[in-house]
Amino acid sequence: MKVFVLYWHPEPQSFNSAMFRTACETLAGAGHEVKTSDLHEMHFDPVSSRKSFTTVKDPNYFKQQIEEMHATEMNGFSAEIESEIEKIEWCDLMIWQFPLWWFGLPAAFKGWVDRVFTMGRIYGGNRIYETGVCRGKRALLSLTTGGPEKVYRKGAFNGDIAGILRPIHRGILQFVGFDVMAPQIVYGADRMTDEQRKQHMAIYTVRLEGIARESPIDVGIY
């Protein structure tokens, strides 16, 4: 299986970093091909602009989707963006490793989506959801939260974690055709003991060793 692991955290010694390294090592050890993008190490710029393109459709007015369609036709994406698109096109499974910030993706991650999920290559022309470009591929969110699990339940003050993740699961991943796997969530990682962190890492390792046999989940539309 071909696996693309996308990761961002500003601290190389963080638990997220350990999760990222564990995923890469475990998957490679199980015989899978692995490609990665460490957005922090890459100094990936999340801000959309003309720098994503080597071509220009309209020099007087910048509309990103129009420029993306033109770049798709003319092979006009910058090397940085082309490389990331090719990793998506290459993989069978895409894993995102990140800390949940403000109930969503960190800015670098969201900006990566804004720039890399391009119209023409990754979606568009009625190729969305069940007919999406990425149909047949799977996606897994692996994330940490600041609070404990009890505050991410239905009726708790942070609300249902499934509802928090639905804009990512449904509005980003399923929108372009990915089948969504059950998320790997470590609640309150910075509040844990080293032994508890080791236990979570062991659980994740076992899951990754059998990930090829897992089935996607139903994230719901509403």
User: SS3 of 135, please?
Assistant: coil
Write the DSSP symbol of residue 151: G
Residue 182: the pLDDT is 95
Band of pLDDT at residue 222, cut at 50, 70 and 90 = low
Residue 218: the pLDDT is 85
Residue 194: the pLDDT is 87
**Helix, strand, coil percent values for the chain (each to nearest 5):** 45, 20, 35
Residue 150: the pLDDT is 82
**179 membership: H or E segment, kind and range:** strand 179-180
Kindly report the CATH number that applies to the domain delimited by 2-213: 3.40.50.360
Span 144-199, pLDDT tens digits: 998 877 878 888 787 888 888 999 999 999 999 999 999 999 998 888 888 989 99
Residue 36: the pLDDT is 98
Band of pLDDT at residue 21, cut at 50, 70 and 90 = very high
Asked if pLDDT for residue 114 goes beyond 90, the answer is: yes
Span 38-96, pLDDT tens digits: 999 999 999 999 999 999 999 999 999 999 999 999 999 999 999 999 999 999 999 99
Give me the count of residues in the chain.
222
Neighbours of 162 (CB within 10 A): 16
Residue 157: the pLDDT is 86
- Helix 194-209 vs helix 15-29: crossing angle, to nearest 10: 30
Band of pLDDT at residue 17, cut at 50, 70 and 90 = very high
Q: How far is CA 150 from CA 66, 89, 137, 168, 180, in A?
A: 45, 38, 32, 21, 24
3-state SS of 97-130 is: EEECECCECCHHHHHHHHHHCCECCCEECCECHH
Residue 9: the pLDDT is 96
